[in-house]
Amino acid sequence: MMRAQFPHIDKVSIRPFVLRSQLYSSVVDRTQVDRELESLRRTKVLRIFKLNTGQDDHAIMFLDDYLNQIERAVKRMEEKNVHDLEVFEWFKIHVIDTRLEPNISHQDLCSLLSLGGKVKDNQISVLINGGVIIRQLIDPSMYWFAIPNVGSMLKGLSQGRKELLSLLSRRRYKEMLLASLEKKRLRLSPLDMRFHLRDLIGSGHLKTIKTPTGLVVRISKE
């Protein structure tokens, strides 16, 4: 359902993803969410990505959507006449299929890629530029798997969170009717209000309260 409701964003070529926090907003038992996600990850139905937002954010993408997103990244690079693009095929067949964790070491990456052909340093750079891996800041010999072209979404996610919390914090009781809030548009995020509400409710920054006039969204006490 959340995949189907992913906001359509002009000029940004991105397949739908769901945040783990959003699932927490609609399923009370977080342990059950984690357990079922783990099972779907192991059976290669979906992949889980650690997002580069400075917080403990994880995006969930169905494997088919992720492979499609990689295809789009390759097409963009073909248009720019980038060489060594065969490495993406090796990445999909030998790396994605066997490494289900959110990260991979440089050594393991090269070892798996070499099942497709002779690996050159330049090809690792091509994968980084294509957005499928990001070098970890703490340990440069480790990479996070990443969603190509997700950068503008992450900026919108961070800015939209701040904007929504700021909007509510300026209200007298730091709350607002959900129905009224859902009609508002965020200026700083291409993601819609529903996307941000689910995220912030699931992460515990906001809570919902039933009142006679309807559901109210309130900032959680610090």
The answer to whether 25 and 199 have CB atoms below 8 angstroms apart is yes
In the predicted structure, residue 141 carries a pLDDT above the cut 80: yes
* Prediction pTM value: 0.92
Could you tell me the two tokens for 129? 């530029």
pLDDT in tens, 151-185: 889 999 999 999 999 999 999 899 999 999 999 99
Answer whether 90's CB lies under 8 Å from 117's CB: yes
Three-state SS annotation for 139-198: CCCEEEECCCCCHHHHHHHHHHHHHHHHHHHCCCCCEEEHHHHHHCCCCCCCCCHHHHHH
- Mean pLDDT of the chain, nearest integer: 93
Say if residues 12 and 149 touch (Cβ distance below 8 Å). yes
For the stretch 30-55, pLDDT in tens is: 999 999 999 999 999 999 999 988 78
Q: What is the pLDDT of residues 63-119, one digit of tens each?
A: 999 999 999 999 999 998 888 899 999 999 999 999 999 999 999 999 999 999 898
Res. 10: pLDDT tops 80: no
